Structure 1
Amino acid sequence: MLPQAILRPCSSRFAASVLCESHAFRPFSTSLSRKEQKAAQPQTAATDSIVLSAPVTYISESHDPWFNLSYEDWLLRNTPHNQPVLFLYRNFPCVVIGRNQNPWKETTPHKLREAGIPLVRRRSGGGTVFHDMGNTNFSIILPRLLFTRSHGAEVVSKAIRERLGIKECTVNERNDVIIKDGEKELKMSSAYKIIQHRAYHHGTMLISSSLSELGKSLKSSSPNMETKSILSHRSPVTTLNHYLPSTTQKAIHHDDFVHAVTSEFSKIYANQSDKKMETREVNSDWIKEPKVWKGVEELKSWEWQYGQTPEFTNSLEGELSFGSISASLSARHAVITALTLHLTPTLHETTESTSEKQSFLDSLALSLVGHRYESLDGAEGALGHAWEEEKWRELGNEIIGWLRKVM
């Protein structure tokens, strides 16, 4: 049984809009016969043998990315195995990376922090995406034996074509929802997760997102980084409102997309006589389920956000007050495992002075092994009696400050 707090029917403005007729879009259609409904569902070896229960749509009122991603994972693991589930939500501006990605290869975390944009690592695979309030996220959860990588994308693309009137919307060979513009494909991102009995396809739908903010947020400043992580498949992106049909001047909003996708989902999985779809509003203030909040805590932790990063190496170069410096390092779980610092002295530097500074760099590099990449938490401090003078402390602080800036 699901906790009563999350069974509350929709009452929010946008959630309620999916239950009533809009002047622009058709209401739910349940006119498909049982045979037509089965044909519209994923076609696998188990299609004819699985009996589905009534579908449910959950629409989140929260814009907290950690809550929404944790709640999505909870739905995947705790809703009935044979129940089709649709989850729709929006997040405040953030960058979301895949489970097996490197945050420094996909973006520049310290610049995101300066801009007040959170970095969030989700539990599914796939690439890096930018969320804002002009983007709606969808998740279609089905029995694992019914799961195909194309079905979720087909449901969403059909809703956009037939209910929002954007005929250029289709699905490519990578099962991404795309806008076909001549020879160009403009992508909406998607990812998948499969567990024992359930699986989901989730994705982003850029309705009116800021593409300039998206571009700035997904720019990495680590061109020399080599990583074992999964790299994003970079593709041109667009928004639905760039492709409004000529017959309408009304911009598409979140409510319109929710109505369109929920209508299409209902058409495929609900039956007027015995499988009427429920629509449930999700409000984080109502959710008391401990697993959801434990999930939020885990997603926010350094160990998940950064420590999940696969092994990587990086090479850095810079000009400091005492000469040119280069760094070569390796890291595992975002903790430095090896580091070398090399000094190219200024033109008039003596051999003795250069040798002494290089010895200091060697000691400093050794002291930084075991520290977290980029933050270098607790890195400042004495390196032994040989380096207690003020000049060495200042030099060490300059180098650590430079590393934090360029990592």
Structure 2
Amino acid sequence: MIFVENQGITDPHLNLALEEYIVRNFSAENDYLLFYINEPSIIIGKNQITIEEVNQDYIDNNNIHVVRRVSGGGAVYHDFGNLNFSFITNHDITQMHNFKKFTEPVIKVLNDLGLDAELKGRNDILVGEKKISGTAQFSTGKRMISHGTLLYNTDLGEVANALNVKPSKLESKGHKSVRSRVANISEFLKEPLSIEEFRALLLKGLFSESEDFETYRLTDEEWKAVHKLKEEKYDTWKWNYGRAPKFNIQNNKRFSVGEIDVRIFVEKGLIKEVNIFGDFFGRDSVEELEKLLIGIPYDKPSIEKALKDVDVNNYFGAFEKEELVDLIINF
């Protein structure tokens, strides 16, 4: 595995562009590790409705970035006390939605630092009942990203201030607030460390079996391409906020794979527009699924027929097709 140096960049738009550039353009002969720290920002999951996830007045008044990532899952808050890691590897269908392989080496380093950390739930690393990390994945079909956040010394008060957390998510966690169930890694350390020192220890631990690991620095031409991707995608309103549908039917429910929220616009009995949102993880884009439903009658037999040959696991993870049909038609 090769470590990619990001030159200390803290712009979340540029860091997410760099991550996508690596997965789409770097050699498939190697695996890569990327670390980055972002300025105060909210990172939105690919399938979420931005305006329903953020406290817009608060983030406007406090100059907090809002950027959508390419992976699924829920919205997260980043600041200078949050260290982000990203493994870029060849696509492996057995590892999609399986976060154990990619969190194990991180958890081992945390354990070596004295934390009783373990992977729990879908994709979280916890110490006791406190969440210190969340992870997500994205696949191009050939290469994949498995990335996560590490709450090291984050301003946890800002998590609740900047995020407009849905009641359904609070209920599913069985807690009164997000703040009550998250914690910083620094709280559990016996000796205080700066985030830079923690980053160095984590990097050393992840490469403990390689005495002389390789560090890669992008060329000027590669950086030029990363900046171009940032400007054309990650800086745009269309990417970060654009998915805000017209609808007259909304059905949502929390499943084991996460929350699924279906917005449908029906006119004269036919589905004219459909959008599927949520914090689920999937290999394929739900936009492919949405297209299959456009123009058909809004009834159960028509929806079942349209989805007859679809493997919904590719879009949501381990999930039954019947559950999706019932959600769409609200049975």
TM-score greater than 0.5 by the shorter chain: yes
Paired position in structure 2 for 1:294: 228
The letter of the residue matching 1:167 is: L
Is contact 2:47-2:72 (8 Å) kept?
yes
Shift of 1:261: 2.5
1:169 maps onto 2:110 in alignment: no
Paired position in structure 2 for 1:278: 214
Q: Distance in 2 between matches of 1:112 and 1:303?
A: 18
Alignment match of 1:203 (pick from 134, 148, 153): 148
Q: Distance in 2 between matches of 1:171 and 1:112?
A: 31
Contiguous gaps of at least 5 residues in structure 2: 169-176, 251-262, 266-272, 274-331
Paired position in structure 2 for 1:258: 199
Cα shift readout 1:30-52 (whole Å, capped 9, x = no counterpart): xxxxxxxxxxxxxxxxxxxxxxx
Is contact 1:87-1:138 (8 Å) kept?
yes
Q: TM-score, normalised by structure 1?
A: 0.53
Change (3 A) 1:219 1:175: closer
Q: Percent identity?
A: 27
Shift of 1:140: 1.0
Q: Distance in 1 between matches of 2:5 and 2:195?
A: 11
SS at match of 1:208: coil
Paired position in structure 1 for 2:126: 178
Is contact 2:123-2:136 (8 Å) kept?
no
Is contact 1:207-1:252 (8 Å) kept?
no
Paired position in structure 2 for 1:59: 5
Alignment match of 1:212 (pick from 157, 161, 183): 157
Paired position in structure 2 for 1:110: 57
Q: Distance in 2 between matches of 1:95 and 1:237?
A: 16
Is contact 1:144-1:194 (8 Å) kept?
yes
Is contact 1:158-1:170 (8 Å) kept?
no
Cα shift readout 1:256-296 (whole Å, capped 9, x = no counterpart): 2322322232235x4x5xxx42123569xx46545412321
Change (3 A) 1:59 1:166: farther
Paired position in structure 1 for 2:240: 305
Cα shift readout 1:220-258 (whole Å, capped 9, x = no counterpart): 5x879xxxxxxxx9682110111113xx3xx23222232
Change (3 A) 1:129 1:310: farther
1:141 maps onto 2:64 in alignment: no
Shift of 1:156: 0.9
Paired position in structure 2 for 1:50: none
Cα shift readout 1:153-194 (whole Å, capped 9, x = no counterpart): 1111111111xx2332121142322212xxx24241111111
The alignment covers a number of residue pairs equal to 240
Is contact 1:121-1:304 (8 Å) kept?
yes
The letter of the residue matching 1:292 is: V
Change (3 A) 1:144 1:157: same
Contiguous gaps of at least 5 residues in structure 1: 1-54, 225-232, 316-329, 338-407
Shift of 1:108: 1.8
The letter of the residue matching 1:216 is: N
Q: TM-score, normalised by structure 2?
A: 0.65
Paired position in structure 2 for 1:160: 110
1:3-402 correspondence to structure 2 within 5 Å = 55-60=1-6, 61-145=8-92, 147=95, 148-162=98-112, 165-180=113-128, 184-219=129-164, 236-245=181-190, 248=191, 251-267=192-208, 270=210, 276-281=212-217, 286=220, 288-297=222-231, 298-309=233-244
